[in-house]
Amino acid sequence: MVVLVTGANGQLGQAIQSIVGNYPSIDFVFCSSSELNITDKSNCETVFEKYKPNFCINAAAYTAVDKAESEPEKAFSINVTGAQNIAEVCKIHDTILLHVSTDFVFDAKFVDGIAYYDRELRLPLKSEKGLTETDVPFPAGVYGLTKLQGEQAIESTWEKHFIVRTSWVYSQFANNFMKTMLRLASERDSLSVVADQIGTPTNAVDLAEALLKIITSSQNEPIEVYGIYNFSNEGQCSWYDFAAEIFRVNNVSINLQPIPTSAYPTPAKRPAYSVLDKSKIKKVFGIEIKNWEDSLKKF
Ligand SMILES: NC(=O)c1ccc[n+]([C@@H]2O[C@H](COP(=O)([O-])OP(=O)(O)OC[C@H]3O[C@@H](n4cnc5c(N)ncnc54)[C@H](OP(=O)(O)O)[C@@H]3O)[C@@H](O)[C@H]2O)c1
């Protein structure tokens, strides 16, 4: 079985590379952006023609949430045209596509202790465990919008797809919130972190294992299992809670202050609530998910 991974030098790409030893029966092909530029259709065709993958994990993405507000064309090109190109070549080669998407397709909000998934319509969540795959997306910024449009491009192009929405990904690889916190703590005595955005951290290696579990379970599954799935670690917290736990497990002493979003303006608006309900992925694929604190501690 051949599994081709795009965006191989990104955080998720590197996390997948770190666990290949657990899957000796899979031939992995890791393509960095210079080897496979997903915005270049003929480049995609050439690479797929060469490797003829059974599965493709599209870990390539434009992920600069704030920068996307000032360069929407670039975000669109990678997150929408790129996703479309990959879906088209997957269709030609009958390759099952695993595409990674984001909690930022939502802009849910807490009002009086109740989570609503749509700021304007104020529709309450169907699930108390978070946003489900059938809750209506409502992106707040360019990044979330392009990721949603990328999902839609895949859905309308190639039925053999899994779109895995995840959130707050961290690891030892590439840039992420955990590494930023540890770097800032080495430079400063105090730090203020937003405490009114609620979500769930996801260890990139746990995400990588979930994707491989989908692949190893999906070779002979009926078509009905394709579609959107949520995956993050279990539990929920604010960015402030996440930072506090990062410092606690790393024995970092720092004066950490909780602040509201209003005190930390950013070019892109972020969801106030983006906890994902993982019932579907657990039920369909039997995936056991670690609590975010346990996974961080283990990491
Ligand atoms: N990080 C998070 O907190 C988070 C949260 C929710 C969802 N996600 C989703 O998870 C997935 C993986 O994210 P990540 O954290 O691994 O992102 P990342 O570290 O930014 O990696 C993205 C990778 O995509 C590559 N890339 C960019 N443009 C490309 C192109 N045109 N063709 C091929 N590759 C290209 C980048 O390569 P270069 O470095 O060479 O440009 C980079 O290696 C993404 O779909 C993201 O939307 C991430």
pLDDT for the residue numbered 245: 98
Within a domain: 243: no
Within a domain: 254: no
Domains in the chain, number:
1
CA 131, chain centre distance (Å):
14
Within a domain: 184: no
Cα of 58 to ligand 1 centre, how many Å? Answer: 9
Report the pLDDT averaged over residues 103-115.
Answer: 73
Whether 109 shows a pLDDT value over 70: the answer reads: no
**What pLDDT, in 10s, does the model give residues 122-162?**
556 656 678 899 888 888 899 999 999 999 999 999 999 99
If 0-12 CB within 10 Å is exposed, 13-18 middle and 19+ buried, where does residue 24 land?
exposed
Within a domain: 209: yes
Whether 273 shows a pLDDT value over 70: the answer reads: yes
Which residue among 11, 37, 63, 232 has the greatest number of ligand 1 atoms within 8 angstroms of its CB, and so is best to mutate? 63
**What pLDDT, in 10s, does the model give residues 286-297?**
999 999 999 999
Cα of 255 to ligand 1 centre, how many Å? Answer: 32
pLDDT for the residue numbered 96: 97
**What pLDDT, in 10s, does the model give residues 243-266?**
999 999 999 999 999 999 999 999
Which is nearest to 202 in space by CA: 257, 130, 116, 117?
A: 130
Within a domain: 180: no
Residue 18 domain boundaries: 2-175+201-235+273-290
CATH number of the domain bearing residue 285: 3.40.50.720
Residue nearest atom 30 in ligand 1 by C-alpha distance:
37
pLDDT for the residue numbered 177: 97
pLDDT for the residue numbered 136: 82
E-state strands within 118-179: 161-166, 169-170
**What pLDDT, in 10s, does the model give residues 57-96?**
999 999 999 999 999 999 999 999 999 999 999 999 999 9
Residue 108 has which token pair? Answer: 């849910």
pLDDT for the residue numbered 137: 87
Question: What is the Cα–Cα distance from 172 to 282, expressed in whole angstroms?
Answer: 26
Atom of ligand 1 nearest to the CA of 103: 6
Within a domain: 9: yes
Catalytic residue among 51, 143, 229, 273: 143
Beta strand 161-166 with 96-102 is parallel
Which is nearest to 200 in space by CA: 108, 69, 82?
A: 108
Within a domain: 245: no
Whether 227 shows a pLDDT value over 60: the answer reads: yes
Looking at residue 70, its amino acid is S
Q: Is 116 a catalytic residue?
A: no
Question: What is the Cα–Cα distance from 21 to 26, expressed in whole angstroms?
Answer: 9
178: Cα within 13 Å, side-chain hemisphere: 25
Residues with CB under 6 A from ligand 1: 6-7, 9-13, 32-33, 36-39, 59-63, 78, 82, 100, 102-103, 147, 166-169, 174, 176
For residues 163 and 262, is the Cβ–Cβ distance under 8 A?
no
pLDDT for the residue numbered 224: 77
